[in-house]
Structure 1
């Protein structure tokens, strides 16, 4: 896909999802970091359900570390991989306090050095928390980048780099949010319906699927 077509694609997605933003609930950068760590292989709904009780009790790294792993696990036990995530969050809290004065670092390498934080998580924190035009490649972004022909690639890092190359500057800040919303609610992995897609003309997918509109019932 060329840069001009990509620009039209994101312009249309911006109109389709004018309020596109992370669906994770948080008040601070620290809470954003914790929420994104917890969201790995879990839904935003399940994470929000957990943090709704966790964050009021443990709003800061100090409070989280003081509460300890058992208390944290009690709040997040219904989230996938909860034991491992609890250990990682507690370790991260300790590092934030010992090395960064309790603040979330505004640096990719520093973020990726934290337990439970990978490239996608770091990109989300830099984008959502600090306003950097980074692109977080999750399963939706990866699928749509390949399916639409926007940035065909074999892995997420390659996808990220290709997206950064092709996406016009004005759309980079919100690009992954638009793709996530499109992938979550329209261009799903299965049962996708191209009839509901606003970027169907720009999309290069070879196996588009259109559902016929339901017949209008006669009033007579």
Structure 2
């Protein structure tokens, strides 16, 4: 195992995570007026509905699928789901969601590149993020074909072991995927780099989506109105 491999899959995940968390906090604290999605709906609606819906549905499913699939310990699902069957489930569901996400992403990229007003209002980071997601997604879809060559689920278990060692700060994370195919390693690197780029892009508005859940548990807001010279509480 080379020192580069050790750095990329043993140290780099913590660098990307730190920048992701603290970078988002610093941006929210010092640049709140930039904390927005910069929607281009008012500039042109064409392709937006299909592109945005397909992209968001696909990428949300992929994110949750990766989160649950990688971080769920093997002993939790072992009694009723063999690794090979779990891998097949991940390949099928991930392939469907990935294809949806890819179609939506390509529509959004085409729209941003070909519409002059949208392109003029786009920042360099907008294109960096779009094409980086495209690269990461392409590698993920490619890995499905590679997974078909080892249907026993061994690589999936190695990737899960790597992710669980990272989040629990246990040593040996890089060694867990030392023998994994190159396409998986490249996909992991691109995914981690996406988190590193997150605070510097419009993707920060995703935090607002999770934050809106707090409205479900916040206290009722008291509104007072004046009627017939008397205040009443509604």
TM-score, L = length of structure 1: 0.29
More helix by share: 2
* Larger Rg computed on CA atoms: 2
Higher relative contact order (CA 8 A, sep 6+): 2
